[in-house]
Chains A and B, each alone.
Chain A
Amino acid sequence: MGMTIAEKIIAAAAGVETVKPGDIHTVELDRLMSNDGTTHLTIDMYHKLKNPRIADVNKLVWIMDHNVPCDSVKTAASHKKMRDFAREHKITFYEGAGVCHQVMLEKHVTSGELIFGADSHTCAYGAVGAFGTGVGCTDYLYAMVTGHSWLLVPETLRFNLKGKLGDGVYARDLILSIIGQIGANGANYMAMEFGGEGLKTLNMSDRIAVCNLCVEAGAKTALMEVDEITLAYLKEHGREPKHVFQSDPDASYARVYEIDLSAIRPIVAKPHFVDSVVDAKECVGTHIDEAFLGSCNNGRIEDLRVGAELIKGRKVHPLVRFLVVPASAEVYRQALAEGIIDTFMEAGAIVMNPNCSVCWGSCQGVIGEGEVLISTGTRNFKGRAGHKDSFVYLASAATVTASAIKGEIATAADIAG
């Protein structure tokens, strides 16, 4: 029996010829990413060990990104703990470089790797053909101490992409459509594998957006076929693939979906569930108080370009706050060079430093009771962006920017002309 991409990566990491879904293997991990959401607790547990040790410090990457810059005295205590530990143990450490997954994809991850990240959106690394999966701090600590962990081989869902996304339709619309189709637990415990001719029409930014959000369908990981676009991205960032695995023709899938990209339409996910998706048209006219363009899902230069093109020569609606947050320092500087930051500021947007920002509701742009946000963030759970009785709609960079201009939910088509 052939293997899927996920199975091949696990087999290689376990040092065995073949694996099958349901098997539990001990796997060697290539990288271990942790951020300020949980690292302070990992450190506390580390210090309680009888024999604290780090198997291979070169595998560790720690990224301060959730509450950056620090927002409170309590956060400062947690941040200091993380910063001091990283310095003492010579752990690769970033602060101010951007959202962890964007930084990892720009600077570290390569094809065929198996990566634990103490953050659920670690599945984003599938965009370059790496098996990334989110873990808690106990799993993280165990892997940090031993260099390995246990992994149950997931079943795989296969998505064959064909055609091309239409004008004004983006990767965000694609993945929200898929999540709406399979449900918030439609891929629970499973890998989501993407391939087919349609994949060639998606650039790296699109692929990251798709893989990043797969955890919202419950997926353990997401993986895309490695092709010339992936290899060019890695080369541009100075990296070589570790392995290039493709699924075998006789690989076994739990289910296979055929996705026609040309049939995808602008989508909005309504409060309070990511799978609560509707055609964006159904939400047009909904009142908003704030709009957010950023996050590991849609804060890349490609997303900022979409927003800037729409807002150039227009203004943010006077009753709306429009927060724009580049996903990384690299993206921010590129946007500066292209004049994009100037365009947003000219229109009245608030441009923030790279960090998780509004997406996680703890640091910047927090919304109050009864307020409504439209966001390119990852989640729209109850209270995700602030008060427990507030409302978050998720949409593409184009829909979010159009809404910021209109002062109510709108698609790019609604503000044209």
Chain B
Amino acid sequence: MGKVFKFDQDVDTDQIIASQYIIYPTIDEMKPHAFESLDPDFAGSVQAGDYVVASENFGCGSSREQAPTVLKALGVKAVIAKSFARIFYRNAINIGLPVIVCKELYDHVNAGDEMELSMQEGVVRANGQEYECTKLPEYMQGILDQGGLIASLDK
């Protein structure tokens, strides 16, 4: 089980990690600033295995891969949203951070709730309920399963 960190719609990548931090030399130096503008406590309180839950168009804006990367580095297990902006979605899969479309979950969980994602079954369990998720296209699931896009270069 992991804890829910909940965000609204049209969360852009500047909010996930602001411009002034993305040029820092390392991800370790950037990650304390994740979601700083929306939830200054996020980076300090998120634990490995926790989830980010959001509404429509999560990750819109800049192509900065630092956005999914800092979330993964902080231990976020998956981002579950009603929909994702394209570049964030592709970047997340490429680095091996599961991004799951679930239309119902957002309206039925609160920040701090406990939940569990089963990618194999394509369901989220929270508050005694099950919510169906959209499975990833086979090609993209394949990238995720091999541990991200770069893993294929080392084969």
Q: Report the Cα distance A388→B35, complex, angstroms.
A: 11
Given that A24-B139, A38-B66, A75-B23 are known contacts, is A188 also in contact with B153, CB under 8 Å in the complex?
Answer: no
Q: Which of chain B's residues has its CB closest to A154's CB?
A: B86
- Among the 9-residue stretches B9-17, B111-119, B128-136, the one with 4 or more Cβ atoms under 8 Å from chain A is B9-17
Which of B62, B64, B90, B150 is within 8 Å of A45, CB to CB?
A: B150
Q: Which of chain A's residues has its CB closest to B37's CB?
A: A388
A159 at the B interface (CB under 8 A):
no
List chain A residues, Cβ under 8 A from B62.
Answer: 37, 119-120, 379
Q: Report the Cα distance A134→B62, complex, angstroms.
A: 9
Q: In the complex, are the beta carbons of B90 and A136 less than 8 A apart? A: yes
A139 at the B interface (CB under 8 A):
yes
Q: In the complex, are the beta carbons of A74 and B65 less than 8 A apart? A: no
A293 at the B interface (CB under 8 A):
no
Interface residues in B75-102 (C-beta closer than 8 Å to A): 83, 85-87, 90-91, 94-95
Which of A77, A122, A150 is within 8 Å of B139, CB to CB?
A: A150
Given that A184-B10, A383-B15 are known contacts, is A136 also in contact with B65, CB under 8 Å in the complex?
Answer: yes
- How many cross-chain pairs have Cβ atoms below 8 Å apart between A and B? 138
Q: In the complex, are the beta carbons of A38 and B64 less than 8 A apart? A: yes
B41 at the A interface (CB under 8 A):
no
Q: Report the Cα distance A50→B153, complex, angstroms.
A: 8
Q: C-beta contact mask, A111-128 vs B, less than 8 Å → 1, else 0?
A: 000000011101000000
Q: In the complex, are the beta carbons of A135 and B63 less than 8 A apart? A: yes
B60 to chain A minimum Cβ distance, whole angstroms, is 6
List chain B residues, Cβ under 8 A from A216.
Answer: 61
Q: In the complex, are the beta carbons of A383 and B61 less than 8 A apart? A: no
Q: In the complex, are the beta carbons of A37 and B23 less than 8 A apart? A: yes
Q: Report the Cα distance A216→B87, complex, angstroms.
A: 12
A361 at the B interface (CB under 8 A):
yes
Q: In the complex, are the beta carbons of B63 and A188 less than 8 A apart? A: no
Which of B10, B56, B65, B139 is within 8 Å of A41, CB to CB?
A: B65
Which of B23, B29, B63, B68 is within 8 Å of A67, CB to CB?
A: B23
List chain A residues, Cβ under 8 A from B66.
Answer: 38, 41
Q: Report the Cα distance A134→B68, complex, angstroms.
A: 15
Q: Report the Cα distance A24→B37, complex, angstroms.
A: 37
Q: In the complex, are the beta carbons of A138 and B85 less than 8 A apart? A: no
List chain A residues, Cβ under 8 A from B95.
Answer: 136, 138
Q: In the complex, are the beta carbons of B37 and A383 less than 8 A apart? A: yes
List chain B residues, Cβ under 8 A from A233.
Answer: none
List chain A residues, Cβ under 8 A from B37.
Answer: 382-383, 388
Q: Which of chain B's residues has its CB closest to A361's CB?
A: B19
Interface residues in B11-58 (C-beta closer than 8 Å to A): 12, 14-15, 18-20, 22-27, 29, 36-38, 56-57
B31 to chain A minimum Cβ distance, whole angstroms, is 13
- Among the 9-residue stretches A141-149, A245-253, A309-317, the one with 4 or more Cβ atoms under 8 Å from chain B is A141-149
Q: In the complex, are the beta carbons of B94 and A188 less than 8 A apart? A: no
B121 at the A interface (CB under 8 A):
no
Q: Which of chain B's residues has its CB closest to A139's CB?
A: B94
List chain A residues, Cβ under 8 A from B68.
Answer: 136
Which of B12, B148, B153 is within 8 Å of A381, CB to CB?
A: B12
Q: Report the Cα distance A185→B84, complex, angstroms.
A: 9
- 10 closest cross-chain pairs (CB), A and B: A136-B65, A136-B91, A388-B37, A134-B63, A138-B94, A362-B19, A185-B57, A120-B63, A362-B20, A381-B14
Given contacts A74-B25, A218-B60, 6 further A-B contacts (CB under 8 A): A77-B25, A81-B25, A150-B139, A185-B85, A188-B85, A381-B14
Chain A positions within 8 Å of B, measured between CB atoms, are 24, 36-38, 40-41, 44-45, 49-51, 66-67, 74-75, 77-78, 81, 118-120, 122, 134-139, 141-142, 145-146, 150, 184-185, 188-189, 215-216, 218, 220, 273, 360-362, 366, 379, 381-384, 388
